[in-house]
Amino acid sequence: MAATTLNDASRATIRCISMPEMQHIIFDTIYGDIQGSATLAVLARTARCFHEVALDRLWHTQTSLVPLVKCFPDTLLKTEIGNDGVEVVNFVSEPKAEDWTRVKFYAPRIKIIRPDVSLAADPLWEGCLDEEAYVTLLKSKGSAPLLPNLQSFQWIDPSTRWGDADEVYAIASFSLMLNPQVTSMDVIMNRWKDESSAEAIASALRQFGNNSSQLRSVNFVSSSCVPIEKAVLNLADESDRTVDCRDVGLKSLKCSWSRSMTVDAITYLSELQGLQEIAIRADRETTVEAVVGMVEQDLMGTGRSAAQAGDSEEEDELDD
């Protein structure tokens, strides 16, 4: 029986699909299919040359931390069915150092976490974490980020689902998303009942801002809360950062507050030179009063009031 040999075309094809650049293109296309995740999981086990790139694509975008948490040993986890029929995952005990091996293998591959990703496009979505699981993760992960290469995340305050649960769970959930590699954050927060909870969130944001060199876009929707508002605005300030971020900085800031912006906040934003896009939504009447106050202050040197300036503009329009 004659031995099977590869012709030049076959060798060229093998070399081509062995290139990581080509694999990324092919696997991105596969992932877009409704059964793409299952196909990539098979490819990751089919050939060594596919393994790393297939896993990178498979874990790149997640809707939650559930798949990652399920990488812990089964003996540490328990699952229950919630009132809405969704599987809820929690820890039986706190993970030890040796329990993190598989988690640390997959966690660096996660680049995006967005709960609004279509479940049809992401079959890895498998329920939700119990609120206590976030605190357990935060306590046991140590000082290193849980998701060291996370670039973009959407965080929606989970307290709406947990009802009257302690806000410490929401704080832990939010803190797990913050790491120095994040370039884009999309956050929706409810009103904090406890002032100490609001301050804890503000503190986490300040620490994140001081160590972040990659942040470019912030979309933040929050109820009235002065400490959090100040912390979000400070994300645009490069002067307080402990890392070298020359020639970089926040490019887009979109915020929505359920109260007026203060004069200090408006003044602060007006002095930021690096922003390319800004959108602020706040109480119109009170914010306009704040802006008028700023105009009044600017005109004091000329001896004119904002009202007089307005009258002058109207006269100019009539003259025209």
Structure tokens at 311: 């009258």
Nearest to 128 by CA among 191, 84, 189: 84
pTM beyond cutoff 0.95: no
Backbone conformation region of residue 228, classed left if phi is above 0, alpha if psi is from -120 to 50, else beta:
alpha
Q: What confidence tier does 94 reach under pLDDT thresholds 50, 70, 90?
A: very high
pLDDT over 80 at 284, yes or no: no
Q: First CA to last CA across the chain, in angstroms?
A: 99
pLDDT at 91: 97
Tell me how far the alpha carbon of residue 188 is from its chain's centroid.
Answer: 11
Q: What is the rounded CA–CA span in Å between residue 143 and residue 22?
A: 36
Across 45-49, average pLDDT:
75
Q: How many CB atoms lie within 10 A of CB 105?
A: 12
pLDDT over threshold 80, residue 16:
no
Say how many C-beta atoms besides its own lie within 10 A of residue 215's C-beta. Answer: 22
Q: How confident is the model at residue 1 (pLDDT cuts 50, 70, 90)?
A: very low
Model confidence pLDDT, tens digit, residues 219-232 = 888 877 778 888 88
In this model, does residue 122 exceed pLDDT 90? no
Q: What is the pLDDT of residue 12?
A: 57
What is the pLDDT, as a whole number, of residue 249? Answer: 63
